[in-house]
Structure formats: structure tokens, C-alpha cells
Structure 1
Amino acid sequence: MSSPQPQMPQAAPAWQAAPGSAPHPGGPGYTSPIPVVRTHLGNAIASEWTKIRSVRSTMWTLGVFVLLVVGIGLLTGIVVSSSSTDLSGENALSLGFFGLLLGSMCIITLGVLTTASEYGTGMIRTTMVACPSRGRVLAAKAIVFFLVAFVVTLVAGSLVAFLHVALLEDSGARDPSGGEWLKGTVGIALYIALLGLLSLIVGSIIRHSAGAITIMIGAVLAPLVIALFMFSESLQKVRDALFEYSIPNQLSVFYANSLSQSGPSGWDPLWIILGVTAVAFAGAFALLEKRDV
């Protein structure tokens, strides 16, 4: 006679946990050991700050920017102060224009790389998984980049301004007024930072680093170069408009040294670049919501 077969324990109903097992995740009384925190814009800003300061391209481009602005500014001040050039009545800050015009190319490059490089490497997919709100990601990138560009430009521009005032004291250049100091330091820093922010937005739209950088450098230099070759009298109004609203001329306005007799003056260039950047940002946001990453 065969021995009785061992009886298998009766399976627990689907709705009931087996004896000695842990409660079903998500069931009554279950508490996750991982704290769940609702994310917000501050989390996205912290993430973008970590990325921008840990990438080598940031240090290289900002380092070259400071080198160009301070180096060219110092060299220009030394050359002018050691020559017999009479700067009577001229604003001592106006020589800072040359270094900042070349240095703006570095800010443009960094702005494009802040967004376009993530599309090139595929890192943008990880970013969007971590933060599904695409608008929040773009806003965080814009805030972090703008603050970095503004602070670096303000420090470099202010240093050059103090050097020029000291070096050109015996050249007849007048001491800048309070308003000229504000425009030549804070004003120019805001303009350069907004120009870099516009580059960041173009990088988000184009999604190709080389293409976006080419577009932005062309936007800076092309109007002025094209205007130089417009010799026909019938094109005089177009030539004047290109001169007046070219980015180099708008930069010179902050030093009260405009390349043209009319066009933007005072703080007008800042409002122009602010309006263009706002429109571009709205377009980038709309495209970001509709396109695949």
C-alpha cells in the first residue's frame, strides 16, 4: 500500500496575502521606504546648475571669454595711454567695447551648447525622463545660463572699466558719470547675457550645435558686413537700418559711442534684445511641446 502523498498548502486568494509575506505594495497600510517629494522648478534649476558647472566646455568658453575681455581691454588701455592720443571729453569706458564684442562669441557658443549638445549626445532623453515637464526644463536652463553669463560678464566688464579709468587718467578722458558706469557695467552685462540666452533658445530650436552657432554668429556680424557693401543710393535706407540695428552698433550704444548718428540710443538696445528673446522663447516652448525629443 502506497504512502499518502503530501498535501500542498492551499493557495491564498488573490485578494489575501500569504501568511508571513509583506503587505502588497500600494495596498492598505503600505508605506514606501523612499520619500516621495513633489518636484518643482527649484529641483530642475539645481539639476541644470550641476550639469553646467560639471561640463568642461563651460570652463573653457568662460575662461576664453574672460581672457578676451580683460586681455584685449588691458592691451587697448595700455596702448592708448602710452601713445599721444588725445581723448579729451571721451568716455573712459568706451574702449571696453572691443574685448566684449569678441568675447560675446564665447557666450553665444556656450548658450548654444547648453541645449543643442544634449540633443547631439542623447542626454536630453534622460533629462526629460527625470523631468517630464519640458517647459520647466527649458526655463531652468534659461535661468541658470542667464545668471552665469550675467555674473561673469559683469565681473569681467567691471574689471576692465576700472582699469581703463585708471590707465586713461592722463590721456584727457573724462571720468564716467553714474549713469555711464551703470550702462557700461550692468547694462552691457544684461545685453550680453540676453544675447547668450537667445543663442540657447536657437540651440533648442535647431538642435544642432554647429548650425545654431553659425546662425548666431551670422546674426551678429552679417548685417554690418552686408551694409558695408551697399553702395547704391537706392539702398541707403536699408544700409542705415542695418548699421543702426546691428548688434555691434547696439553694443557701442552702451558706451555712448554709436557707429551711426541715429537709431537706438540710451537703453533701447536692451529692450530690443529682450523683446526678440521673449518671442524666440515662446516659439521654442511651443515647438518643444510638439516635437519628439
Structure 2
Amino acid sequence: MSTPQPPMPQTAAPNWQAAPGASYPAYNSPIPVTRTHLGHALASEWTKIRSVRSTMWTLGVFVVLVIGIGLATAALVAANATEGDLVGENPLSFGFFGLLLGIMCIMTLGVLTTASEYGTGMIRTTMTACPSRGRVLLAKGIVFFAVAFTVTLVSSVLVALADVSMLSDAREPSGSEWLKGTVGVSLYIALLGLLSLVVGSIIRHSAGAITIMIGLLLAPLVIALFMFSESLEDLRQALFEYSIPNQLSVFYSQSLTDTGPSGWDPLWFMLVVTGAAFAGAWALLEKRDV
């Protein structure tokens, strides 16, 4: 029969467990902790867009195309025009050709602003630093729109001033024509670039998104040129009227068609399309993995 063991003596609890409350003393970080907001996301996206090489290259080529072609076109017209040829002509309209080609640079930069991060995997770091995905997309859109609008406005104003001075035989543009040919067209191109940014966020592939946007720029006009059937006349006319080149020409009061958008209609049309695409990209961003 076993002998019962005497009870073990009670030991005092360690000092770090004896006191009630937290196990560790309070710690105050020397780094100030603040609640993040949209301003922080804007600062981050501004740092990104101004520090990558693609921004300087695309915007540099855009400025060269817009100013170079705009001035070259006006100089060529001024050198070959005879007296009376330019009467009633809007001298601002010669900036159309440079902007039409420069649009592709803005669209490319818009796609790269979002899609390139998915290609490199840096989007995971971005979303870790800012878990609010909608805030990231909004910050990218605001920063890009501001950059695209500013660069386009400065370039279009320089071309407009130079063209008016070179084409002295043309009529003086009215105030509304100045506003549409500078601010209006800059807003339209910035919105088109923002649409490219949204498409890049949806597709998440730079080459694919750029291809889609170039197709959106050229396909309607090219397809309409080969629609010879009378049964397709209404569709052909609609493709002409709402193609991007025709909408761009409306800002210079010389639409390629007799009907269709006029005045500020292209800007409202692009605003609605871009807004709808932005809402779709926001919803997809919240549902898909990064």
C-alpha cells in the first residue's frame, strides 16, 4: 500500500502576474500614429507617377506631337494659302491634328498607371499600405486626371496662341471658341485618359488594355468606312458621329458629319461613359483578389 504524499507548498505568484491589469506596461511609440485618409493616398500616387520613367516618356512624346504637328500644320497652311483662303477659318482648328495623335500617349499613360502595378506585383504592396481599395483607385484617378489635364491645357494653349499669330488672315476666335479649343478639349482628353486608367484596372494587363483603347479610338471610324450597304447606313452614321476623332473635332466647330454631337456634347458623353466604367472598376476591385 502506497504512502500518501504530503501536499506541495504553495508558491507565491511571480511579480509580473501578481498585479491586476495588462501583462505588460503601456508602450508609447515615438512615431506619431494618425488615421490615414485620401490625402495620404494622393501623396503616394503623386510620388509614383512623377518618379517612373514612363510618365516622362509618354508626356514628353505627347508634348512634342501636339506642339510640333500643331505648329507645322499652321506654318504649312500659312505658307501655301493665298489671299482670302483663310477668311472665316478658325485658326484654333489646326491644333486638332497634333491632339489626335497625342491622345494615344495619354491613353497609354492611363493604362500604365494601374495595369503596370499588376504586372510587377507592386499592387500587393500598395493594397497592404492602403487596404481601402476604392481609395487607391480614386487617388490614382485624381492624380492622373490632374496631370493629364494640366499638360494638355498648357500644350493646347501654346499651339493656339502660335497658330493665331501665324494665321493672321483667319478670323479672330470668339471667347467660347477659345474656351472649347483649350479647356474643353483638355477636359475631354483627360477624361479619355481616365477611362484608359479604369480599363487598365479592369483588364490588369498593360498590352491588352492599351490594345482595347487604341481599338476604341480607331475601330469605329475604320469600320464605318467599309460599311457600303444601305441597310447599315444608320449604324454607319452613328459610328461616324460618336467616334473619338469626330467628337474631338466638335471642340473646333468642324464636326466631320452634319449631324451628331455639337457644342459641349462630347464632354458630357465622355463624362458619363467614364463614370460608368469607374463605378464598374470600383465594384470589381472590391470583389477580386489582387
- Counterpart CA distance in 1 for 2:172 and 2:155 is 19
Matched to 2:243, the amino acid is S
* Superposed displacement of residue 173, structure 1: 1.3
Counterpart position of 1:119: 118
Matched to 1:274, the amino acid is L
Equivalence map 1:201-240=2 (5 Å)? 201-240=198-237
Matched, 1:263 2:265: no
TM-score by length of 1: 0.91
Counterpart position of 1:99: 98
Q: Which of 227, 233, 242 does residue 245 from structure 1 map onto?
A: 242
Q: Aligned in 2, Cα 1:32/1:246: closer, same or farther, shift over 3 Å?
A: same
Contact 2:17 2:23 in 1 (8 A): no
* Superposed displacement of residue 87, structure 1: 1.7
- Counterpart CA distance in 1 for 2:14 and 2:155 is 72
Matched, 1:15 2:17: yes
Deviations 1:112-168 (A, max 9, x none): 000000000000000000000000000000000000000000000000000110011
Counterpart position of 2:159: 160
Q: Which of 42, 45, 68 does residue 71 from structure 1 map onto?
A: 68
Contact 1:24 1:30 in 2 (8 A): no
Residue aligned with 1:15, SS: helix
Aligned length: 276
Q: Which of 265, 275, 283 does residue 280 from structure 2 map onto?
A: 283
Matched to 1:146, the amino acid is F
* Superposed displacement of residue 34, structure 1: 2.0
Deviations 1:63-116 (A, max 9, x none): 000000000001101100000251210111001100000000000000000000
- Counterpart CA distance in 2 for 1:173 and 1:11 is 97
Counterpart position of 1:52: 49
Counterpart position of 1:149: 148
Give the unaligned 5+ runs of structure 2: 1-11
Residue aligned with 1:263, SS: coil
TM-score by length of 2: 0.92
- Counterpart CA distance in 1 for 2:127 and 2:210 is 24
Q: Aligned in 2, Cα 1:259/1:36: closer, same or farther, shift over 3 Å?
A: same
- Counterpart CA distance in 2 for 1:191 and 1:73 is 18
Identity %: 76
- Counterpart CA distance in 2 for 1:245 and 1:39 is 42
Q: Aligned in 2, Cα 1:16/1:249: closer, same or farther, shift over 3 Å?
A: farther
- Counterpart CA distance in 2 for 1:15 and 1:90 is 89
Counterpart position of 1:183: 180
Residue aligned with 2:28, SS: coil
- Counterpart CA distance in 1 for 2:126 and 2:279 is 21
Q: CA RMSD in A?
A: 1.6
